[in-house]
Chains A and B, each alone.
Chain A
Amino acid sequence: MKPKKELQKSIQKLEASAQKIIETRGYTDESRRLRMLSELLREQLKNEDPRYSTRPIR
């Protein structure tokens, strides 16, 4: 099991990969799925609280 710091690194890596794809090929299925994984990981860091709805999510 990865410690919190490692999970944060994984989130950053996934987001960076997604961003790279968006910049070169647009918001594709691939970038969308990378972002889905990073968001799922982020929810784990927040004790699986999926309703942080007021966070600016743009």
Chain B
Amino acid sequence: MKTLVIQLARFGDIYQTWPSLRALSEKEGSQVHLLVRDSFKAATLGLDSKIRVHTLDSKEFLEPIIHNEGEEKALERLNSFLETLDKESFDQVINLSFSPFSSEMTSHFEARGISVLGYTRHRDGHLNIQGDASAYFYAQVGVHRPNQIHLVDIFAMVCGVDLTDNHKHGFVKVSSEFKTPSARFAVLHVGASDRGKSMSPLQLSHLVNLFLETQDLDLFLIGTQSERDLSQKAVPLLGSERVFDFTGQTSLPDLFELIRKAEFLMGCDSAPIHIASLLDVPVLNFNNKSVNSFETGPFSRTKSFISIDEVTELDSEKFSGTLQKLIHGESGFLNSSSTFVQSQWEMIQSIYMGERYPTKILQMTAVHLSELLEQIPKVYVASERPEDEVNQGIIRQFDRFLERAEAQDEVLGVLIRWFNTERVRIPPGELSLVKAATLQKLNDFYMILTDWARVLGEGMELIDDPSFIEMDLNSVIKNFRFFNLPAAMDDLERLLPQISFLSSTEVLSQEIQSALRIPDYSRLADLLEYKLKPQIQDVHSVLL
């Protein structure tokens, strides 16, 4: 079996593809080829030599367009590139890129009778999501999504391979002449794949000071030339002979060598944490809200996590404790934060892994769920005759409802994304076939919702929803400010019972009652805006 794996994403994703490539190449009679972008080819350095690497240089195709030489020349170059790949006569193409371009490229191979996995295109040009793992990616993977399955494992699922520790942390053949100035050290990557995911110079210097205070190891700073400004700003604040700044001074083989010999690596979301993972070096990962560390964090056997936002509040005891555990092979848990986020993950587990449904939900979810259970039978009937204009209106209204509910309601959103993905997976064809498939998906959706409603009926717990309350509160404040009193009083009456979970409600209620008695509506609006709203926002930030 000759397989082409398409991985056109960046460094980190290529490193996270290595375990699947190793597993694929182990299969009897297997020949594995990998396609990466020319600019990220360096991430294949050290990969098993039996995996043949091809590169795609977008500049080559785009130059004629960018320099006004015409699209024909660009097309000629693209044709020639595709022909070169065609000559390899692949039996199978696996697309691990999940991008529009890669889906078009995969469909090129599919059109030539080659079996494909991952994103491709239907015969009418619409997106075709091949395989359940790719469908899972489409529906649930990405930053701000509640996925907790690592990308390494998702790639393996798309490829249809089972990973062992040897695949994840196998032999890496990279050699370097780099001489380390000391034998016992840790490595700190000062940057990240983008600046939004990295530490500030102040956070960096605080972290390094803590390290020097609590550890007897030397510290080697690494990073690209463009990240040197970060270390240069942080290093003068340190003034220690135990810190060595190698940012912008190491080649990729040097990095492998440094990380391999390190006691552990500390770093934000970027390729070095994945290099360390491939080498099975313990990793202390710093993350923030721009990263889903469950998904793209380190996959070393030993790893721990600290939020970047907490770095400046870290004391030496906590920091030292975390590192001690790491050095002794004890992993830290990645905090899935709130009940709210946990419920979203439980929803994923229930749909995809047959686990129990979440029973801790927002009041809003209960409302949306009952609305859906009422709407779907009508939508089902309408979908039987979609050519009817009235029915089209019902279906459009249902789609708008789903769009709104997905945006507002993150637990139900998981289920809505699953349903929408299943609908995207319906292939083009005769109207009767498309209709039958759509009705089947609607029925599946309804069955899941009914089942969940049954479980909730046996016992559910409502989570207070501060974001929902905040929206109501803004409306009350506005109405009091503009003396729209009947609406303001109605809204306030509805709002007050919802804030009973706040610790200072009693005092605040008395102040509100006092302002109402006078009556001083401006004072009332101020109380709501400057005393109540910040408390709700605090709770909201903790929940999310």
Contact = CB atoms under 8 A, between A and B. Distances in A.
B432 interface: no
Contacts of A44: 58, 62
Contacts of B108: 29, 32, 36
Interface residues of A, number: 34
Contacts of A14: 71
A32 B99 CA distance: 14
Interface stretch (B6-14, B184-192, B259-267): B6-14
Given A27-B123, A37-B62, A57-B127, A51 B100 contact: no
Contact of A50 (B8, B82, B121): B8
A42 B102 CA distance: 13
A5 interface: no
A29 to B, nearest CB: 7
Name the residue in B13, B39, B104 with the highest tally of chain A Cβ atoms < 10 Å from its Cβ.
Answer: B104
Contact of A51 (B62, B82, B97, B127): B97
Interface in A25-53: 26-27, 29, 31-37, 39-44, 48-53
Chain B interface bracket (under 10, 10 to 19, 20 to 34, 35 or more): 35 or more
A54 interface: yes
B377 interface: no
B286 to A, nearest CB: 21
Interface stretch (B73-81, B366-374, B508-516): B73-81
A53 B65 contact: no
Given A22-B125, A48-B39, A48-B58, A29 B111 contact: yes
Contacts of B82: 33
Given A33-B79, A37-B78, A27 B101 contact: no
A10 B67 contact: no
B243 interface: no
A14 to B, nearest CB: 7
A20 to B, nearest CB: 12
Contact of B424 (A32, A33, A58): A58
Contacts of B302: none
B124 A27 contact: yes
Contacts of A42: 100
A50 B101 contact: yes
A43 B104 CA distance: 14
A10 B65 contact: yes
B142 A53 contact: yes
Contact of B61 (A31, A40, A54): A40
A53 to B, nearest CB: 4
B137 interface: yes
Interface string B54-68: 000010011001111
B240 to A, nearest CB: 36
A22 B122 CA distance: 12
B420 to A, nearest CB: 9
B228 to A, nearest CB: 20
Contacts of B124: 22, 26-27
B37 interface: yes
B98 interface: yes
Nearest to A32: B104
Contacts of B79: 33
Contacts of B9: 50-51
B325 interface: no
Contact of A2 (B37, B66, B71, B122): B66
A36 B101 contact: yes
B519 to A, nearest CB: 49
B187 to A, nearest CB: 26
Interface of A: 1-2, 7, 10, 13-14, 17, 22, 26-27, 29, 31-37, 39-44, 48-55, 57-58
Interface of B: 8-10, 13, 37, 39, 58, 61-62, 65-68, 71, 74-75, 78-79, 82, 97-105, 107-108, 111, 119, 121-127, 137-138, 141-142, 145, 424
**Which 10 A-B pairs rank lowest in CB-CB distance, beginning with the nearest?**
A27-B125, A39-B101, A53-B98, A54-B142, A51-B9, A57-B100, A36-B104, A58-B127, A39-B100, A40-B58
Given A29-B108, A48-B58, A50-B37, 13 more contacts: A1-B67, A2-B66, A10-B71, A32-B125, A36-B78, A36-B101, A37-B65, A40-B58, A44-B58, A51-B9, A51-B98, A51-B99, A54-B145
